[in-house]
Amino acid sequence: LAFKDITSYLEVDPGTFTFAITPTGSTDEVVVLNPITFIDEQVLTIMVHGSFDNSDEYPLQVRAYIDNNNGDSFVDLQPIQTNIRLLQTSYDAGLVDFRIDAGLAAGNIAYGMSSGYRDVDAGLRNITVTSAGTTSPAVIDFDLNIVDNLDYTVIAVDELAQIDALYVVDDRSPSATDAKIRLVHASPDAPAVDIKLDTGSGTAVFTNSSFKDISDYIEVGAGTYNFVITPTGSTDEVVVFDPVDLTVGSVYTIVAHGTLDGNDAYPFGVRVFIDNGDGDEYVDLIPATTGVRVIHTSYDAPDVDIWVDGATAFTGIGYGISTGYADLNAGTRNLVVTQTGTTTPAVIDITPTLDAYTDYTVFAMDQLSSITAVYTADDRTPDDAAARVRVVHAVPDAPAIDLKLNTADGTPVVENVAFTDITDYTTLAGGDATFVITAASATEDLLIFEPISLVNGNVYTVVAHGTLDSLDSYPFGVRVFIDNDDGSSYVDLTALPPTSNIRVIHTSYDASAVDIRLDDVVEIAALNFGLASSYTEVNSGLRNIVVTPAGSATPEVISIDLMLQKNFEYTILAVDELALIDALYAVDDRTPDPANAKIRFIHAMPDAPTVDIKVGSGMAAATFANVAFKDIENYITVTPGAYSFVVTETGMTDEIVVFDPIDLAAGDVYTIVAMGTFDEGDAVESTIRVFDDNGNGNAYVDLVAAQTNLRVIHTSYDAPNVDIFVDGDMFFQDLAYGLTSGYSDYSAGTRNITINPTGSGTPVIDVTLTLGADIDYTIFAVDEVALIDAVYDADLREPVVSAAKVRFVHASPDAPDVDVKVGIGSGEIVFSNATFKGISDYIEMAAGDYSFVITATGDTNEVIAFDPVTLSNNTVYTIVAHGTLDDGDAYPFGVRVFIDNGDGNTYVDLVEYPMTAQIRVINTSYDAPDLDVWVDGVVGISGLPYSGVAGYGEVDAGIRNIQMTPTGLTVPVVIDTNVAYTRGHEYTAFIVDEFAMIDAVQVDDDRAPNAGMAKLRFVHTSPDAPAFDIKLFTGDGPTAFENTSFKDVTAYTELDGGSYIFVVTENGSTTPVATYQAITVDNG
């Protein structure tokens, strides 16, 4: 192969080849090259260049270009020479000279340096190392048999006092595809180690390498490597290194040197020598670092020192202080904490593995006797659009907490953080933030802090430290460390003083407006009687509360010391008259119940008895029972809705007062306060005020006493005029018999009614009645004065548009039980079996004129009847029967109809209708003697002959016994019958038939004239005559009366006035039986 020749490609099997160059045709080796490895599919161009002239600067070289890919990669094939170099790793030996057979091979070789390869002849060579510039003494002296064409490395190891020499043959033949590396362990105090990739648990490339061990070369793929040193068999990272690039064809010797003793000047290091070329080039592996700070939160521990791998890292760190971040080698580090100035005992001794390029904070937590270390990685990456915050709980006696913004019931920023917990970072908007700490899942604040300004881009660690024990010297606090920069800066949060809310209700009825002072500062000014202040936030704790007249510091009418608990709410009441003024207070549970209302009751009325508060009526169960003056009842829950509260004395059903309904809403909280007095002589009325505890707490509504309309009707016939009193107060004065007081408003409830003779102080009636809310009542004073009594009932005065409403009151003491009927004694009963003092229910009656009749119960005899009275739609009536049936007294029986509409004063008296009927008797018994007519055993008509007429005479209405005897005799009684007579009616009785069969026929006479017509009827009293027709003028003329048989009495028929001839025919015949002379009948 001549100069400039280029051969064709030659295919060879993959493998390692050693090339030798000889003159053409000779076996003399001009040069033998280090081996090179070929792999499948590799294409190479091997070029020989330079010159054989050793005197020029262009030595013979052989370069293998790799034609694959872009063709710019190559590997130099080094001539195989016999070379030797010295690596000086004896850390305290100083500069040395390297000699071969006493000849200076390289001088002034410093610690950690390589002499570079030096040519050496094969054979047994004496190797010595001396201090630089000297030939003796030799600190290393040994003989080495040098083999031709091999390279050697001699390594001076250990401290000078124990210096030793290692040597090894260097296989510097490059790999065409990989890098080659080996490891030299030259650190005398380092343990056996493994060299791994990336992490302590990564892939081991060298294992169990002890001091003075030299590994074989291994091939590794070209690339970037993070080497990690661990103790053999361990994953603890002694040191982690920054990445190093290993290239194809390069050969490396990795030397671990120096010591692990942090107190000497020869720190452990790893140097990577490049064995290619002269062998003196190197790169140091840079230990990867981590930023570590320690925050001292062990509240009773002294100042401390922090040691890392036996070396002092931080000193004099006080409680609550951060060391700031310091760079430490990544890996498994031993951190020890001792009291400042001492090395023992270690109060903390931990060995964490610290990842490269990661920052950490170690917290010393808990009291000294149980101190512990908690650490976490710090992601200090800033967010330019937000602040990043995490929370550390370092308070051993505090519960798990939530950190919130602004309010205790807000959404947690972080939640359920327990002692020793370190949360992840979370983002918050920059700006002022008010932090609130609550127990986990609670809505009551433990602490609220003054706002802190959070800056976008800043990273914060919020540390809760100290204790909750108020008896120690380590108060609870929160320190906010700024993790940016060196991590030592902080701001302490300032806790707002714990607060309570108070309101004051002024119920001292004769006291003027007042000021309320807390510790001499006016918190509530000019509060008037009956009003509540708004809830006012005040500092918690023992507070002196003073009440004075508004605008004045004296006199102090109330002065109390009150322990106000944090986050509690209170109502304070000034109660009683000014001379006896006192203070009450209660804790307010204003937490709403979404499904119910909450109420409580406070009795602040000094002259009121102990009471029960009920709903609906005095008979109901007590909602609040046995409430005495100054009692404050607990809140209770009630279903939402309208409530009519009733006050009774404790254990009683008498209603002191009944109130109109008040609506209680779901979710609302109410305090009901009874205030004022019952004494009408003072200027303050009794009031029950319902305060709405929601919101500001000063809104209220007064319960309105339910009203009743009351009237009294005086029906005690012999009683004088009377005065009526309700609960001792004049209700109506000088009410006369038969009259009504009319309706007047009065408070519903249990009322005492007294009725006195006018001007007298002695009551003749004294009754206690329960008057329902919004119900009207009439009280009737009944019976004679010696037996006077009161009866009453509710008046259902709501009218009916389409009817009249009517009731009946029986107030006539000597009248029997009665029925009230319409029309006649046998008529329709509208009120039955009415007894003395009885008050019927209202009934509805159609509007119209009614003639009322009173009979004894179950009887049809009319006790009294009345002229018609008109009852109207939409009107309510009370009909009162009063007076007596005794004709000998001055109080005649009467019936008065009161109109209950309007003021209840209007009335009309029913006018008695005459109680007799009119009767006449016509005797047509042709063979009978003269007759006497007896009525109820008394002769009414005497000596009535045949065809005689007894004119109309009076007879009592009702059922009368009618008898007839021959005149002057009592027997025989030829007629004996009971006949009903209706008052005001007129009757004709006809005595008919022969004496042996004598009978009587009676008819009702309708004698009411018709001015435009004549009225006629026909009576058939001829016992042996057939049924007749009565016709006019002729037998076939118009029929006036048809088919009239014996004893028939026809109805009246009407004819025009004039002259008529009456013709009698048998029924159905036109043949006259008799024709009578003309008779004139007149209209009317």
pLDDT band at 82 (very low <50, low <70, confident <90, very high): confident
Per-residue pLDDT averaged across 638-648, rounded?
Answer: 96
State the chain's mean pLDDT as an integer.
Answer: 94
C-alpha distances in angstroms, 719 versus 141, 290, 586, 691, 996? 155, 114, 57, 50, 62
Nearest to 312 by CA among 344, 345, 333, 343: 343
pLDDT band at 79 (very low <50, low <70, confident <90, very high): confident
pLDDT of residue 260: 85
* Beta-bridge partner residues of 46: 64
Tokens of 458: 């800043």
d(CA 341, CA 304): 8
Query: What is the side-by-side order of every strand in the sheet holding 269-274?
Result: 218-221, 178-185, 251-257, 269-274, 281-284
Query: What is the side-by-side order of every strand in the sheet holding 669-675?
Result: 636-638, 597-603, 669-675, 687-692, 700-702
Is 102 within the bounds of a domain?
no
pLDDT of residue 834: 97
d(CA 816, CA 559): 73
Nearest to 776 by CA among 904, 899, 943: 904
Question: Are 961 and 935 within 8 A, CB to CB?
Answer: yes
C-alpha distances in angstroms, 194 versus 182, 228, 270? 13, 8, 13
Q: Is the pLDDT of residue 681 over 90?
A: no
331 shares a domain with 316? yes
**pLDDT tens profile 614-634:** 999 999 999 999 999 999 999
pLDDT of residue 821: 96
**pLDDT tens profile 414-442:** 999 999 999 999 999 999 999 999 999 99
Is 192 within the bounds of a domain?
no
Is 149 within the bounds of a domain?
no
Q: What is the CATH number of the domain that holds 729?
A: 2.60.40
pLDDT band at 52 (very low <50, low <70, confident <90, very high): confident
625 shares a domain with 567? no
**CB-facing half-sphere around the CA of 292: CA atoms within 13 A:** 26
**pLDDT tens profile 334-379:** 999 999 999 999 999 999 999 999 999 999 999 999 999 999 999 9
468 shares a domain with 558? no
DSSP 48-86: EESBS-TTSS-B-EEEEEE-STTS-EEEEEPBP--EEEE
Please identify, among 77, 93, 117, the residue that sits at the C-terminal boundary of a domain: 77
**CB-facing half-sphere around the CA of 843: CA atoms within 13 A:** 13
**Antiparallel, parallel or unpaired: β 251-257 and 178-185:** parallel
Is 718 within the bounds of a domain?
yes
575 shares a domain with 613? no
pLDDT band at 914 (very low <50, low <70, confident <90, very high): confident
CA angle 70, 176, 197 (to 5 degrees): 105
518 shares a domain with 583? yes
Report the C-alpha dihedral over residues 411, 416, 422, 424, rounded to 10 degrees: -40
Is 151 within the bounds of a domain?
no
**Contact partners, residue 252, CB within 8 Å, separation at least 6:** 179, 180, 181, 182, 246, 272, 273, 274, 275
pLDDT of residue 721: 96
365 shares a domain with 293? yes
636 shares a domain with 540? no
Q: Is the pLDDT of residue 265 over 90?
A: no
Q: What is the CATH number of the domain that holds 868?
A: 2.60.40.1120
56 shares a domain with 25? yes
Query: What does the H/E/C string look like for 512-527?
Result: CCEEEEECCEEEEEEE
Per-residue pLDDT averaged across 999-1010, rounded?
Answer: 94
What percent of the chain clears pLDDT 70, i.e. is strictly above it? 100
Q: Which residue has the tokens 């009751």?
A: 601
Please identify, among 57, 77, 97, the residue that sits at the C-terminal boundary of a domain: 77
Residue 164 identity (one-letter amino acid) = D
Count of Cβ atoms closer than 10 Å to residue 4 Cβ: 5
Count of Cβ atoms closer than 10 Å to residue 511 Cβ: 22
508 shares a domain with 489? no
Question: Are 508 and 528 within 8 A, CB to CB?
Answer: no
Nearest to 599 by CA among 720, 696, 690: 690
CB-based burial, 714-728: b 16+ in 10 Å, e otherwise:
bbbbebbebbbbbbe
Per-residue pLDDT averaged across 144-148, rounded?
Answer: 88
At 997 the three-state DSSP class reads helix
More confidently predicted of 55 and 493 = 493
pLDDT of residue 1063: 96
**pLDDT tens profile 266-309:** 999 999 999 999 999 999 999 999 999 999 999 999 999 999 98
What percent of the chain clears pLDDT 90, i.e. is strictly above it? 85
Q: Name the burial class of residue 27, with classes exposed (0-12), middle (13-18) and buried (19+) by CB atoms within 10 angstroms of its CB.
A: exposed
Cα-Cα-Cα-Cα dihedral sign, residues 735, 737, 741, 747: positive
DSSP 578: G
Q: Is the pLDDT of residue 263 over 80?
A: no
Per-residue pLDDT averaged across 225-232, rounded?
Answer: 95
pLDDT of residue 35: 84
998 shares a domain with 936? yes
pLDDT band at 395 (very low <50, low <70, confident <90, very high): very high
pLDDT of residue 388: 97
Is 532 within the bounds of a domain?
yes
Is 137 within the bounds of a domain?
no
Per-residue pLDDT averaged across 651-662, rounded?
Answer: 93
Q: Is the pLDDT of residue 130 over 80?
A: yes
**Antiparallel, parallel or unpaired: β 776-782 and 707-714:** parallel
Tokens of 233: 């068999």
Q: Structural domain tally of the chain?
A: 9
**pLDDT tens profile 1028-1057:** 999 999 999 999 999 999 999 999 999 999
d(CA 95, CA 154): 16
Please identify, among 378, 402, 430, the residue that sits at the C-terminal boundary of a domain: 378
Residue 369 identity (one-letter amino acid) = S
Query: What is the side-by-side order of every strand in the sheet holding 73-77?
Result: 44-49, 61-66, 73-77
pLDDT band at 54 (very low <50, low <70, confident <90, very high): low
pLDDT band at 182 (very low <50, low <70, confident <90, very high): very high
Per the structure, the complete domain to which residue 521 belongs is given by 502-588
DSSP 455: -
1026 shares a domain with 975? no
Tokens of 642: 């309208």
Examine residue 555 and say whether the peptide bond preceding it is cis (omega within 30 degrees of 0): yes
Per-residue pLDDT averaged across 217-221, rounded?
Answer: 95
Question: Are 808 and 835 within 8 A, CB to CB?
Answer: no
**pLDDT tens profile 791-837:** 999 999 999 999 999 999 999 999 999 999 998 888 999 999 999 99
**CB-facing half-sphere around the CA of 830: CA atoms within 13 A:** 22
Identify the weakest region by mean pLDDT among 47-51, 403-407, 906-910: 47-51
**pLDDT tens profile 561-605:** 999 998 899 999 999 999 999 999 999 999 999 999 999 999 999
Is 66 within the bounds of a domain?
yes
**pLDDT tens profile 852-863:** 999 999 998 888
Question: Are 935 and 896 within 8 A, CB to CB?
Answer: no
Nearest to 473 by CA among 320, 304, 322: 320
**pLDDT tens profile 307-329:** 998 889 999 999 999 999 999 98
**590-595 long-range contacts, Cβ below 8 Å, gap at least 24?**
590/669, 590/693, 590/694, 590/697, 591/669, 592/667, 592/668, 592/669, 592/694, 593/637, 593/666, 593/667, 594/666, 594/667, 595/666
Q: Name the burial class of residue 279, with classes exposed (0-12), middle (13-18) and buried (19+) by CB atoms within 10 angstroms of its CB.
A: buried
959 shares a domain with 861? no
